[in-house]
Amino acid sequence: MSKRQGYGQFCPISRAAELLTTRWTPLVVRELYFGSTRYSDLRRGLPRMSSALLSQRLKELEHNGILTCQPAESGTGHVYRLTDAGRALFPILESMGHWAQTHSSDDMTKDENLDPDLLMWNIRRRVTSEGIPKNQHFVVLFHFLGVPIKRSRFWLLFRDGEIEICMRDPGYETGLAVTAHIRTLTQIWLGHVPLELAIRRHELLLEGERSHVQAFSRWFNLSLLAIGNQASVSSA
């Protein structure tokens, strides 16, 4: 497979670099760290990565002891999980994220990278059912501006403790509607802009029963990367 020579350096940085300087590898680790376990989860979180390359990377990472691959008990496919060594890579990713936030001309929120599917998928993984009416379904509509109409509406469906993203109205009554420019919600998600500020400036609109509006900040959690980045946002 890889006939590639190593860097020929005894310095430990080079060991990690040999692992991480292949394309997409850090992002695969990120996805796993943030909770993806299935091949299709990974594909969803890394839409621009080709399937062939993903499966190649998974094999390499397994071979390098970064992840384990086990046949899924429930049905088909495999479950991928980081090993201890794999989870230990996270501080590296964290410092990469921190560097980019402070030193990269912040075009990570430039138009071409804003992606509502990706954002919703990331949000879904961090959402908690806390503060959501139990034992009944609850629907939140996200309505994005700055996005082609066909990809501008997403429904988050809370049901039986499960959370699902729908691209079409799931039919139940909508309990809360969230309206914002895709960039606004992305910036909030990344911790660049405090939620309250966006609300106060009417750049993010919450519509629904008062209790549902107030509950929003309890179940809508920011990206793990946002923590410690910006003014705190979580409900008191």
Which of 12, 71, 148, 161: binder of a copy of itself (CB under 8 A)?
Answer: 12
Say whether residue 101 binds a copy of itself (CB under 8 A): yes
Say whether residue 44 binds a copy of itself (CB under 8 A): no
- C-alpha distances out from residue 108 to 103, 145, 186, Å: 11, 18, 10
Query: What are the φ/ψ torsions at residue 178 (nearest 5 degrees)?
Result: -115, 120
Distance, CA of 31 to CA of 224 (rounded, Å) = 12
Nearer to a copy of itself, 147 or 190 (CB): 190
51 contact, one of a copy of itself, DNA, none, CB 5-8 Å limit per kind? DNA
Distance, CA of 185 to CA of 71 (rounded, Å) = 37
In this structure, is the dihedral angle defined by the CA atoms of residues 21, 24, 28 and 33, taken in order, positive or negative? positive
Nearer to DNA, 53 or 213 (CB): 53
Say whether residue 186 binds a copy of itself (CB under 8 A): yes
Distance, CA of 225 to CA of 94 (rounded, Å) = 7
**Which of 52, 82, 88, 87 lies closest to 69, judged by CA?**
82
113 contact, one of DNA, a copy of itself, none, CB 5-8 Å limit per kind? a copy of itself
Q: How many other β-carbons are positioned within 10 Å of the β-carbon of residue 211?
A: 11
On whether the CB atoms of residues 231 and 195 are closer than 8 A, the answer is: no
Which of 53, 118, 165, 227: binder of DNA (CB under 7 A)?
Answer: 53
Nearer to DNA, 3 or 134 (CB): 3
Which of 2, 3, 8, 74: binder of a copy of itself (CB under 8 A)?
Answer: 8
Binding string to a copy of itself for residues 56 to 95, with x set by CB under 8 A, is what?
A: ---------x------------------xx--xx-xxxxx
Say whether residue 49 binds DNA (CB under 7 A): yes
CA atoms within 13 A on the CB side of 166: 17
Which of 9, 15, 35, 51: binder of DNA (CB under 7 A)?
Answer: 51
CA atoms within 13 A on the CB side of 42: 27
119 contact, one of a copy of itself, DNA, none, CB 5-8 Å limit per kind? a copy of itself
Say whether residue 234 binds DNA (CB under 7 A): no
Element of type H or E holding 142:
strand 138-145
Say whether residue 35 binds a copy of itself (CB under 8 A): no
Q: Which residues bind DNA (CB under 7 A)?
A: 1-5, 22-24, 38-40, 48-53, 55-56, 58-59, 72, 76-78
